[in-house]
C-alpha cells in the first residue's frame, strides 16, 4: 500500500507541509502542523525486508521553542 498510495493517503493525514521519501523497502514521511519551521514536526520511518515483512518502525516528534 505504501508504494501505491503514499504514506499521506495510507494514514489519512493532511498536514500543512510534508515530505515523503521511499524506495527499496524504505518509507519516510516528515510532517509539520504549521507552515513555519519552528513549530511541531512529526516523522515516521518504515523499513521492510526483501519478503515484504516489516522490519523496523521509527516515530519522531520534534518541537522547537524559540526564546
Provide the β-strand partners of residue 27.
22, 46
Over the stretch 9-57, which tens digit does the pLDDT of each residue have?
Answer: 777 777 777 788 888 888 888 888 776 666 678 888 989 888 778 899 9
- Give the 3-state secondary structure percentages of the chain, helix then strand then coil, rounded to 5: 10, 45, 40
Name the architecture of domain 2-62.
Single Sheet (2.20)
pTM of the model: 0.63
- Return the SS3 of 64: coil
What Å distances lie between residue 59 and 19, 44, 51, CA to CA?
A: 15, 5, 23
Amino acid at each position: 500500500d505504501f508504494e501505491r498510495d503514499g504514506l499521506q493517503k495510507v494514514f489519512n493525514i493532511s498536514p500543512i507541509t510534508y515530505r515523503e521519501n521511499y524506495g527499496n523497502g524504505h518509507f519516510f514521511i516528515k510532517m509539520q502542523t504549521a507552515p513555519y519551521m519552528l513549530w511541531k514536526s512529526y516523522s515516521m520511518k518504515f523499513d521492510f525486508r526483501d519478503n515484504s515483512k516489516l522490519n523496523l518502525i521509527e516515530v519522531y516528534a520534534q518541537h522547537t521553542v524559540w526564546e
